[in-house]
């Protein structure tokens, strides 16, 4: 899983609660990404950031929020507005290269809504 850490590994949330997933990288990568993985659907992009203090919505951003105050960190908050948050969440980072550089993935956080 390279130099990317995600915590916690497992997270349980009650309905109506906001929760924050941590993602830290020590690879000195500018770009960071958050994906959601559901069985049989592959990975879907939630948010991405190409540089500190800047981020863009991905394909399924509704109900999620992010911040990028430091190069190393890209936390994801799953808000109560996300109607079906139970999923496996993956963070990734990559060096700049106009899309030619591979992404390095963290070990993931499995979120379950009780």
Q: Which residues lie near other proteins (CB under 8 A)?
A: 1, 4, 6, 31, 33, 40-45, 48, 50, 56, 58, 88, 90, 92, 94, 96-108, 110
Strand-pair partners of 13: 113
When the beta carbons of 80 and 88 are compared against other proteins, the nearer one is 88
When the beta carbons of 16 and 99 are compared against other proteins, the nearer one is 99
Q: Which residue has the tokens 């109560």?
A: 80
| Minimum separation from the CB atom of position 100 to other proteins (A) | 5
| Minimum separation from the CB atom of position 80 to other proteins (A) | 26
When the beta carbons of 66 and 92 are compared against other proteins, the nearer one is 92
| Minimum separation from the CB atom of position 14 to other proteins (A) | 23
Q: What is the dihedral of CA 79, 83, 88, 93, to 10 degrees?
A: -50
| Minimum separation from the CB atom of position 108 to other proteins (A) | 5
CA quadruple 28, 19, 9, 36: dihedral sign: negative
Give the span between the Cα atoms of 49 and 34, in whole angstroms: 9
Give the span between the Cα atoms of 4 and 25, in whole angstroms: 4
């Amino acid at each position: 899983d390279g130099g990317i850490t995600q915590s916690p590994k497992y997270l349980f949330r009650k309905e109506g609660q906001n929760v924050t997933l941590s993602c830290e990288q020590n690879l000195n990568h500018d770009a960071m990404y958050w994906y959601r993985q559901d069985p049989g659907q592959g990975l879907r992009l939630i948010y991405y950031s190409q540089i500190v203090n800047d981020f863009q919505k991905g394909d399924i951003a509704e109900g999620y929020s992010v911040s990028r105050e430091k190069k190393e960190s890209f936390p994801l908050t799953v808000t109560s507005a996300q109607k079906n948050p139970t999923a496996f969440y993956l963070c990734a980072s990559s060096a700049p290269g106009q899309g030619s550089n591979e992404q390095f993935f963290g070990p993931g956080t499995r979120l379950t809504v009780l």
